[in-house]
Copies of this chain bind each other. A is one copy, B any other.
């Protein structure tokens, strides 16, 4: 087993990987940029190596700097986390050349699956159902226009090198197409270093259902059940859960088999995720394979009681899985809410800044994978994810109740977050009925505004804090007297 692993990432996922390393007795090495000098992953590592300036290209996306750092500290393996270089075949290849173990699939697999059009071709040949659309990237506007006409609007623009919704656009009509393509290509260029895009038929009201797979170097492949990730904003997931409310034992078997097929067809090794779109008639279509640890991997860990990072490291070290599909037994229900630094009342616009106060939710079945702390300055250069709030409970209703409680006790002062928004989504009828489709937010929470029915309480708090503040300054904080009356519950306070 490795004795030292370099974590080529930042934020909550870097910390997540380091935790497992520590529990396995493996030293973990952090890399950091100027903006992350006081980031948690820098402060909590066994060793920390400086990469360079804050912009990703000069630090977390600089392959040679990271290779250099790994050589310098004598790490035997590199964990890429998600985002940044996690799905960069060139990086994986450089690691292979340097004799560093890349904790993920072989570079050739990343290469072939990373190019979404090649991936679609592999799946088509492997007999996995795919969505109608182009099978190669295209940059000429006239060709794209023709393809779009042929598919029929609405069409979906996707980045060939894409992932995480970056470079994605839904286009309703031909007039929007040129602008959308330009923006998508630019976004893809910025995010992945490649502006290649292609078009797909846009399916209405599908669910996003993905299967976690594990494949070792000895030909053993299993799936770890599904995750439903239909609740998205700007094509980015914000709520994920498992099991999927739409899943049946038969469907799970069929999709799980397809996922394992996809893994075998591509010669997959290590942990990966096969994403599908599931329509209302239980037809499913291959979307893409994410050749890395998913942001939402914790909900799978919660229902299976399994540490996926530990499995990744074991597989990368050449160990066999040691269990079969029959050993995979799930328990209860898990939900994840992504806590982004963004403003849900303003198009989920990013909200970087200093976190003046942070109080994390705690309690049985509550897990918060958090990358920030009171006093931390959230950088403008990186992903807006502050933490991932995950709950487990015995069934879906209890999990929803637990998540609502956890969100309501999660205090973040200094940056905007979608906490209030998420609470309302979880409280909504359609969500509770499990009617979670990818158009959920557009349909039910378009232009959401936070209700002001409790705003009067904020006015009271303002005045009290103002007065108490003055009192504190005067050093007159009075000793405690007795309350004169019992206090009754404010559960559903209305003015």
- Would you list which residues of chain A between 377 and 419 have a CB under 8 Å from chain B? 392-394, 398, 401-402, 405
Cα A208 to Cα B369 with chains together (Å)? 36
A23 at the interface (CB under 8 A from B): yes
Instruction: Say yes or no: A23-B402 contact (C-beta < 8 A), given A331-B305, A362-B360, A480-B37.
Output: yes
A367 at the interface (CB under 8 A from B): yes
Task: Count A-side interface residues using an 8 Å CB cutoff.
Answer: 49
A46 at the interface (CB under 8 A from B): yes
A343 at the interface (CB under 8 A from B): no
Cα A481 to Cα B143 with chains together (Å)? 51
Q: Which residues of B contact A69 (CB under 8 A)?
A: 486
The 12 sampled A-B contact pairs (Cβ below 8 Å) are: A19-B364, A27-B491, A47-B488, A47-B489, A50-B482, A305-B394, A307-B364, A360-B362, A362-B368, A362-B370, A363-B367, A364-B367
Q: Mark A10-38, 1 if CB is under 8 A from B, else 0.
A: 00000010010011110100000010011
Work out how many copies of this chain go into the complex: 2
A483 at the interface (CB under 8 A from B): yes
A57 at the interface (CB under 8 A from B): no
Cβ-defined partner of A483 (8 Å) among B50, B360, B393, B394: B50
Q: Do the beta carbons of A49 and B489 come within 8 Å of each other? A: no
Cα A402 to Cα B20 with chains together (Å)? 9
Q: Which residues of B contact A24 (CB under 8 A)?
A: 401
State the Cβ distance, A189 to closest chain B Cβ, in Å.
30
Identity of the chain B residue whose Cβ is nearest the Cβ of A301 in the assembled complex:
B364
A332 at the interface (CB under 8 A from B): yes
A72 at the interface (CB under 8 A from B): yes
Instruction: Say yes or no: A72-B486 contact (C-beta < 8 A), given A307-B394, A364-B298, A480-B34.
Output: yes
A146 at the interface (CB under 8 A from B): no
Q: Mark A467-489, 1 if CB is under 8 A from B, else 0.
A: 00000000000001011001111
Cβ-defined partner of A398 (8 Å) among B23, B46, B47: B23
State the Cβ distance, A231 to closest chain B Cβ, in Å.
21
